Structure 1
Amino acid sequence: MDETIGYRGPTACGAAGVTYRQLDYWARTGLLEPSVRNPSGSGTQRLYSFRDILVLKIIKRLLDTGVSLQQIRVAVGALRERGVQDLADITLMSDGASVYECTSDDEVIDLVRGGQGVFGIAVGSVWREVEGTLAQLPSERADDVAPDHPGDELSARRRARRTS
């Protein structure tokens, strides 16, 4: 995965199945900040990496199953510590209150036998799903200068000021 390639907010939302409002809130509160380009001021576009979008999709799935945002923050913290390739071998299990990270089938079975695993998310399958979705969506490099949006009034004023 090329970490210099990123996806703008609306693209990340579409691939992960979250609203832009959720994405913005999670970025502002530090749950998941964009790792390719995090805006430093007005007019800078956030760029999310493949890994960011993978984690967004996992957050969405955990929320949909009733896991609290507090528990999701703990799970995301653990996911951040892993390399991208390591994520594909993880299964996240939850009982609706806590999230457990399993790296083997035996761990999954032990959780289910103990009554702690109610549902699981195989990160590898989410990975393939996100990969397929992003293959059809536009991306850009982190070092690309974001073009002015033609419908943006402020950008139009700046362009006019530069040319005069």
Structure 2
Amino acid sequence: MEPYSADQATLAEAFLPEPTVGYRGVTACHAVGISYRQIDYWARTGLVSPSIRDASGSGTQRLYSFRDLVVLKVVKRLLDAGVSLQNIRKAIETLRSHGVEDLAGITLISDGTTVYECRSAEEVVDLLQGGQGVFGIAIGGAFKEIQGSLAMLPGERAVPEEDAGEPAPVIEAPFGVTDELAARRARRRAS
């Protein structure tokens, strides 16, 4: 049994942006479909912390990786399905142990109480044969959704620590879509 197929590995590679690009909290909220209050709470409680840059005091911006956004999307879907936050935390801990390419080959199956990790069609069928009502979340599908959302949203290059005093350049999204907060700051600096 292969952990993921060649097609799934190719899917992951095709949808991954540059590893040096991150997304601010507001952009992450838009891409995932959650409120800023949710993402802030999840970051403060350690459910999903930004892996590129965490907030370090007043005025600093969290910077989330593409992988972080996929995990945020999975958390949202599990919450929407009624899975408890305690069980979501367990599922997320398991997902953290996998690389991005591995995530594309995982399907999470839940009966609303327990979350199961399936890596093959046979494992999914085994769970379904129990006769219990379940739902599934294909992580590869979340990859595609996040990628589609990010096509219209700005990213930001991660700044090396030695250059941390300088603002990171914002990577403009197509059609002039920008992060609202970044646009306000730019207008203030210009005046």
- Measured against the shorter chain, the TM-score band is 0.7 to 0.9
In structure 2, how many angstroms separate the alpha carbons of the residues matched to 1:95 and 1:3?
Answer: 34
Aligned structure 1 segments of 4 or more residues deviating by more than 6 angstroms: none
Q: Report the CA distance between 1:3 and its aligned residue.
A: 2.5
Query: Which of residues 3, 9, 21 in structure 1 aligns to 2:25?
Result: 9
Q: How does 1:2-41 map to 2 (within 5 A)?
A: 2-41=18-57
The secondary structure found in structure 1 opposite 2:117 is strand
**Corresponding letter in the other structure for 2:39:** L
Query: Which of residues 155, 158, 161 in structure 2 aligns to 1:139?
Result: 155
**Corresponding letter in the other structure for 2:19:** E
The secondary structure found in structure 1 opposite 2:91 is helix
Match for residue 138 of structure 2?
A: 122
Aligned-residue CA RMSD in angstroms?
2.0
Match for residue 82 of structure 1?
A: 98
Deviation per CA, 1:39-87: give whole Å up to 9, x if none.
2221110011110011111100000000000000000000000000110
Q: Report the CA distance between 1:36 and its aligned residue.
A: 1.0
Deviation per CA, 1:3-26: give whole Å up to 9, x if none.
221111111001111110000000
**Would you say how many aligned residue pairs link Structure 1 and Structure 2?**
154
Q: Report the CA distance between 1:149 and its aligned residue.
A: 5.7
The secondary structure found in structure 2 opposite 1:101 is strand
* Percent identity of paired positions between Structure 1 and Structure 2: 63
> Is 2:74 the partner of 1:58?
yes
- Structure 2 unmatched ranges of 5 or more: 1-15, 160-165, 170-180
Q: Indicate if the aligned counterparts of 1:44 and 1:146 stay in contact, CA closer than 8 A.
A: no
Q: Report the CA distance between 1:92 and its aligned residue.
A: 0.2
Query: Which of residues 51, 64, 86 in structure 2 aligns to 1:70?
Result: 86
Match for residue 162 of structure 1?
A: none
The secondary structure found in structure 2 opposite 1:120 is strand
Q: Report the CA distance between 1:131 and its aligned residue.
A: 0.8
- Structure 1 unmatched ranges of 5 or more: 160-164
In structure 2, how many angstroms separate the alpha carbons of the residues matched to 1:87 and 1:42?
Answer: 33
Q: For the structure 1 residues 7 and 150, does the alpha-carbon distance in structure 2 shift closer, same or farther, using more than 3 Å as the test?
A: closer
Match for residue 163 of structure 2?
A: none
**Corresponding letter in the other structure for 1:115:** G
